[in-house]
Structure 1
Amino acid sequence: MKQKNQGLWTIKSFVIMLGVTFVGVPILIEGILQDALYSLFKNDLYAGTATGFVMAAVFLSALYGLMVQAGDRKIGFQSFSKRHWPLILFWLFVLILGSVGIVVLMEWLGITHENKKTASLQQDLSLFSFILAFVSAVVISPFYEEIIYRGFFYTWLKRKGGIVVGLVGSSFIFMLVHIPTYNTLPVNFLSGLVFAWVYEKTKSLLPSMIIHACFNGIAVILTAAA
C-alpha cells in the first residue's frame, strides 16, 4: 500500500499536471474554447466565467485520475482546529495590506494591464453579472486552485525539496498561470506564499480556501464599486 500511495508524488504525475497547467489549459481552454465562448456570449465576463468552470473541471478531473491511479485520494481536506482562526484572520490581513502596497507601487511605476473580466464587470454591471463574478471568484477559483496549487504542487515540491522549495515553487507556478495580467503577478506570488504557508501550518486546505475566498470577494466588491 505504501508503494501505491507514492504514485501521486512521482515525477510522472508532476509532469502530467504541469502539462495540463501550462499546455492543455492555456491552448485548448483559455485559447480555443474561450474564443468560441466569447463569439457565443459577446461578453468577456460570461466567456471568462464559463471558461473558469471548464478549467476547474479539467484540473480536478486530471488530478482525481492521478489520485485514483495512485490509490491516494486524500489531499488536505481534513478539518482544522478552532485555534487556527486567529492565524487565518492574521494572514488575511497581511495579504490585504501586502497586496495594497504592491498595487500602489505597480501603479506608481506605471505597470498596468487590463483584465478583460474586470473591465467587462465594470462596464456591464448588473446584479446578475456581480453574482456571476462573485461565485466564480469566491467559490469556484478558491476551491479548485487550492486543491491543485497547494494540495498537489506545494505538497509535491515540499516532499522533494523541503518547505522553502514548496513555498517558492508552488507560488511561482501560481503566479505564472495568471499571465497576462502582469500588474497582478506580484500579488499572485504573495497570495501563493500566504496560502501555502497557512496550509503548511494548519495541515488543511480549508483555511487557505477561506483566505482565498475572502480576498477574492473583497476584490470583486471593490471592482464593482469602482
Structure 2
Amino acid sequence: MKQTNWLIDLSIKYAIFWLIWLGVQDYLYDELVRLPATANYADFIVNTVIKSILWLGLGIWWLHSDQAQLWLSKKLYNRHFPTLFWILLILFVGYLLVTAIYEQHSLTIMPDLFTRERHGFIGVALIAGVAEEFIFRGYFMNRLLHRYDFMTANIIQALLFLGIHLPIYFVGHLSAMGWLNNALTVLPLGLIFGWVFYRSKNLWPSTILHCVWDAMMFVL
C-alpha cells in the first residue's frame, strides 16, 4: 500500500509539472511572441525567467517536503568529481567538435551570442542545464533511488526527462523523424546524466556536462 501511494504521489507531481510546462510552451510562448514588447525575448523569458522560477521553485519545494524519501538528502552540490566525469567531459567536447566539423566541413562558431538576436544562448546553454538537472536528477532520480535499484531508477528518470521535452516538440511541429532524432539524443543523455549523478552523489558533474552539451550545440 505504501509503495502504491508513493508511486501515485510521484506520478501526480510529474503529471502536474508536465501539464504546466505544456501550457507554458503551447500557450504562454505564443502569447509572448504576439506582443511587440516581448516578441524578440520570448525564448529568453520562457527558458530563463519562467524555467528558473517554475523548475527551481518546484524542485526546492519538493526536495524540502519529501526529504525523508530521498536517496541523497544533503549536500546535493559538493566537490566530488569522479574520474568518470572528466572522461565524459572530454568525450562530449571531442564528439561535438568532430560532428560539427564533419557536418559543416569547418569549425564555425555562431557570432554575437549575446546580442538581441542571440539572447537564447543564456536560457538554452546555461539555465536549461541547471534547472533540468536540479529537478530530474536532484529530485526525481534522487527519490526513485530511495525505492529502486540504480538501473530501474535511471531508466525511469530518463523516460521522465524525455517526456518533459515533448511539449516543445508539439509547439515546434516536429516531423516524425524530428521526434525520433530528438528522442535518440535526449534519452541517452538522460541516462548518462543519471549515471554521473549516481556515481558522484553530486549534482555539479551532471549539470556541467549538461551545460557543456547544450552550449556547444548552440554555439556550433
**TM-score with structure 2 setting the length:** 0.72
Determine whether 1:135 maps to 2:122.
yes
Cα distance change of structure 1 residues 41 and 19 upon mapping to structure 2, 3 Å threshold: farther
Give percent identity, aligned residues only: 18
Cα distance change of structure 1 residues 91 and 130 upon mapping to structure 2, 3 Å threshold: farther
Aligned to 1:115: none
Structure-2 separation of matches of 1:215 and 1:76:
24
1:167 to 154, 172, 180: 154
Aligned to 1:6: none
Aligned 8 A contact 2:133 2:203 in 1: yes
Structure 1 segments unaligned to the other structure (5+ residues): 1-8, 108-121
Structure-1 separation of matches of 2:98 and 2:155:
20
1:167-216 Cα distance to aligned partner (Å, 9 max, x none): 11111111122221512221111111111111011000011111111111
2:44 to 18, 38, 49: 49
Determine whether 1:32 maps to 2:30.
no
Cα distance change of structure 1 residues 21 and 97 upon mapping to structure 2, 3 Å threshold: farther
Structure-2 separation of matches of 1:219 and 1:17:
30
Instruction: Quote the offset at 1:152 in angstroms.
Output: 1.2
Structure-2 separation of matches of 1:64 and 1:127:
29
Secondary structure class of the residue paired with 1:160: coil
- AA partner of residue 77 (structure 2): Q
The correspondence of residues 1-226 of structure 1 with structure 2, limited to 5 A, is 10-11=6-7, 13-26=9-22, 28-41=23-36, 46-52=41-47, 53-70=49-66, 74=73, 77-81=76-80, 84=82, 86-95=83-92, 127-129=114-116, 132-179=119-166, 180=169, 182=179, 183-222=181-220
Secondary structure class of the residue paired with 1:161: coil
Cα distance change of structure 1 residues 187 and 129 upon mapping to structure 2, 3 Å threshold: farther
Structure-2 separation of matches of 1:17 and 1:96:
35
- RMSD value over aligned CA atoms? 3.4
Aligned to 2:107: none
Structure-2 separation of matches of 1:77 and 1:161:
19
Aligned 8 A contact 1:102 1:186 in 2: no
Secondary structure class of the residue paired with 1:144: helix
- AA partner of residue 144 (structure 1): A
1:131-172 Cα distance to aligned partner (Å, 9 max, x none): 522211232111110011111111222222211111111111
**TM-score with structure 1 setting the length:** 0.71
What is the total number of aligned residue pairs between the two structures? 194
Instruction: Quote the offset at 1:22 in angstroms.
Output: 1.9
Aligned 8 A contact 2:114 2:121 in 1: no
- AA partner of residue 129 (structure 2): P
Instruction: Quote the offset at 1:125 in angstroms.
Output: 6.8
Instruction: Quote the offset at 1:24 in angstroms.
Output: 1.7
Q: Which has the higher helix share?
A: 1
Instruction: Name which of structure 1's ranges 143-152 and 68-77 shifts more when overlaid on structure 2.
Output: 68-77
Secondary structure class of the residue paired with 2:115: helix
Instruction: Quote the offset at 1:15 in angstroms.
Output: 2.7
Aligned 8 A contact 1:158 1:166 in 2: yes
